[in-house]
Amino acid sequence: MFKQFPRRPDQAEASVVPLHANAGGQAMADRRSDDPRQSTSEERELIAFLELKGRLHEALLDRLNFAVIDKIMPDELRREVAGLAEEVLAAENRPMRGPDFQRLVDELLHEVLGLGPLEPLLADPTVNDILVNGHSSVYVERAGILERTPVRFRDEKHLLRIIDKIVSRIGRRVDESVPWVDARLEDGSRVNAIIRPCAIDGPSISIRKFSKMPFTMEGLVAQGALSEEAAGLLRGLVRARFNILISGGTGSGKTTMLNAMSASISDRERIVTIEDAAELQLQQSHVVRLETRPPSPNGSGAVAQRDLVRNALRMRPDRIIVGEVRGAESFDMLQAMNTGHDGSMTTVHANSARDALGRIEQMVSMNGLDLPLSAIRSQIASALHFVVQLSRMADGRRRVTAISEITAMEGDVIAMQDIFVFRRKGVSADGEILGEFTATGIRPRSAEALAAAGINFADSHFAVKG
């Protein structure tokens, strides 16, 4: 299983600062960089311990037989790695306590089989985002709040090796000629990586983790993202095949909401999804997932979202779901919604429902088509029925801030009315945003169409409470 084996190029830098390093160790590292004169015996001991770990990682990786490593059971692999680690420690006459030895074996397995120091963060269900700002600075987001971790890479080469490992799995590359890349992990988590010369302070990775348990509308209600009445309306709109635009800023929960709403789609419908990086977790059985492709190193072979939207129209879809519209595909999406593909949904980056329509309008107008503004707005008004606006607030919580109905054109302006809104009432002593999600008292004009689809709401459903 193990023998003296030539090191692969991507194992050039395998050692890593231990994931279990505590905040005190991080603070000591920071003090060392600020004033070397403040070095203490404790700091020197920490440095020596980290250097020993680096040598052990390299020595062990030198001896791994990668030709058979994927055929070995995990428990057997762990025993063999532990045995090799014991050999190296004995040769250097350096004893190690049991817990530290187990951590060493864990870290080596992470390096060989996974993404090194990122593995425990990826396995932590409380972590939503992982943000690597250079090899010595790693942050995570938990419950909407950013916090720094003691996780570190050994050096920049080690971080670059992990980036290459991520992107090579899906046939992509990143180098000085193309210094950024969008990718995804095997579990669907979205990854963006950028390196020098664009990343001035060193390579950076942003990972938006893919929830293993997709959010449901019930779960969002329980978290306070919206009210049960609003959730009921959204379920009805999806079942009745209204076209819906989900709008919000970065990290506001647009994809989460799209996943939750899609659960109301009938299992008897054919759905085609189109994304830059596959994130949607649709539960239906009849789903065709399409993903864009970046250009090859010679600049050819790119597949844009617009190409996929056009192709989707030939695939006999009942609904088309575009993960996010960013450009020319917006026009084709509107055309699909206007030509029989009712019940389609998409998302867009915008800070309000009105801004969302403005962004769609802008994207269509930049499409090279010589269309008057009134014609573009008329297309939008007839294609889209509702806009769901989300926001990530100062306390880190993600909430639906408005559900707005597009009613008609009034002159050259698209008329809208809010059906449900989140009304802020203040901030608590611990910084939590206080407020409530409430109906505005306006009954949607689409109530008759909902009733025709067998979905009836009493007038009290849209009444202002309190």
Choose among 159, 164, 274, 278: nearest CA to 210.
Answer: 278
Q: Per residue in 139-168, pLDDT tens?
A: 999 988 899 998 888 789 889 989 998 988
Q: How many helices (H) and strands (E) does the chain have?
A: 14, 15
Q: In terms of Cα–Cα distance, which of 154, 352, 323 is closest to 255? A: 323
Give the distance from CA 204 to its chain's centroid: 15
Whole-structure pTM over 0.75, yes or no?
yes
Residue for token pair 């419950």: 143
User: pLDDT tens per residue, the chain (466 residues)?
Assistant: 444 433 333 433 333 333 333 333 333 444 444 444 444 676 566 556 556 666 766 766 676 665 566 667 777 778 877 887 788 788 878 787 888 888 878 887 887 778 988 999 999 999 999 999 999 899 999 988 899 998 888 789 889 989 998 988 877 788 888 899 888 888 878 899 999 999 999 999 999 987 777 778 999 999 999 999 999 999 999 999 999 999 999 889 999 999 999 999 999 999 999 998 778 888 899 999 999 988 877 778 889 999 999 999 999 999 999 999 999 899 999 999 998 899 999 999 999 999 999 999 999 998 877 889 999 999 999 999 999 999 999 888 999 999 999 999 999 899 999 999 999 999 999 889 999 999 999 999 999 999 999 999 998 999 997 6
Summarize pLDDT for 115-147 with one digit per residue, the tens. 988 999 999 999 999 999 999 899 999 988 899
What is the Cα–Cα distance from 67 to 57, expressed in whole angstroms? 19
For residues 383 and 373, give the distance between their C-alpha atoms in angstroms, rounded to a whole number: 15
Amino acid at site 308: L
- Main-chain dihedrals φ then ψ at residue 64, nearest 5 degrees: -75, 135
pLDDT, one tens digit per residue, over 199-250 is 999 999 999 987 777 778 999 999 999 999 999 999 999 999 999 999 999 8
CA atoms within 13 A on the CB side of 299: 1
Structure token pair of residue 83: 């045995």
Single-letter residue type at 143: A
- Domain pair 115-211 / 217-462, same fold: no
- Report whether 329 contacts 304 (CB < 8 A): yes
For residue 320, count CB atoms less than 10 angstroms from its CB and return exposed for 0-12, middle for 13-18, buried for 19 or more: buried
Are 216 and 230 a contacting pair, CB within 8 Å? no
Contacts of 328 (CB under 8 A, 6+ apart): 304, 306, 363, 366, 367
Q: Distance from CA of residue 306 to its chain's centroid? A: 22
CATH assignment, 217-462: 3.40.50.300
Domain boundaries, the chain: 1-113, 115-211, 217-462
- Fold classification of 115-211 (topology level): Beta-Lactamase (3.30.450)
Report CA Rg, the chain: 26
Q: What is the DSSP string of 374-393?
A: HHHHHHHHHH--EEEEEEE-
| Residue 243 backbone dihedrals phi, psi, to 5 degrees | -85, 130
- SS3 assignment, position 57: helix
Give SS3 for 422.
strand
Residue with tokens 């060392």: 32
Cβ-based neighbours of 375, under 8 Å, separated by 6 or more? none
